[in-house]
Chains A and B, each alone.
Chain A
Amino acid sequence: MRPRPRKRALSLAATLALVLLALAGAGGAIAASAPRTSPVVPRTTLPAVESQVMCVTCKIPLTVAESPQANRERVYIQQLIDRGETLPEIKRALVFQYTNAVLALPPSHGFDLGVYLVPAAVVLVLLATVAVLLPRWRRGARAAQAARTAEEIPPPSLDTADAARLQADMARFD
């Protein structure tokens, strides 16, 4: 016996609804069981990295550099930040790409150590020079002062006869 068309349509609709419900349930279950990817939390900022690195072609700090290479460097840094890398990790990646020349403050070993040692040596030498020359200069100044003081000693006083003669001479001019 063939079902009536209306009854058949109703049964088809009910089947379809059941299938859709089953699919929706399965989809929800899959979604629930799928591993959730937590959003990457940036661990540093572009200005923080920029302040510690150089534009390698313009040889000025990246913070103030405006050039195609500097812009490309910024994009690369931002990509690393978006990946959740820390400041030291980003610096290591930049050194791998550009060598130590990218660092605003070079590492304190090897030839680069000179960057720290030379200014310190300059200050030390200047201090040593002052330490050696200052006592000499003060000794010289004291000796000169002593000589001047010696020159300023008043001449010996006149005896009575000379004093009377001087007075007489002076009186003639009055």
Chain B
Amino acid sequence: MAPGDFRLRGLDLPFSTEDLTRLFRFALLLTGDEGVAQQVLYDACAECAARLGGYRNEQSRMACILGTLRQKAKAAVPSAPAEGRGIARAIAVLPEEERAAMAGLYTGLLPARELAEALKISLEDLGRTLKSARERLSRDGLELGEATLEPAL
């Protein structure tokens, strides 16, 4: 470090590699594109890094970054969703609310109630959104020919 350079080295995030992996999966399921997912996750981490220390518990920190990620993913234009991996591509074409709910559930970032709060909906609405998302995935999975999305409901 050069004299007088007191900037923090690295983002110094309070997340384990496993948390970061889940966050990356969340971003990927939202955007459907690995490159875009990396960019939105990086931007969200850079934006939240300074704020995260102010939260009292891990769930609040996770809710903060999850909300920021969702906003950034909404603003990001996927470069080529069709090139994404099967599950990511299928979820990424869902309506935004269903996409966020499904991505939140499958990545296990937050317990269901906290996930509903982070998505600013009730637990019942989260249930309705997830039900609708599963039905849509089930239908569209058949059309996409995805083995993991065969009709189950």
Binding between chains A and B: no
Q: Which residues of chain B have a CB within 8 Å of any CB of chain A?
A: none
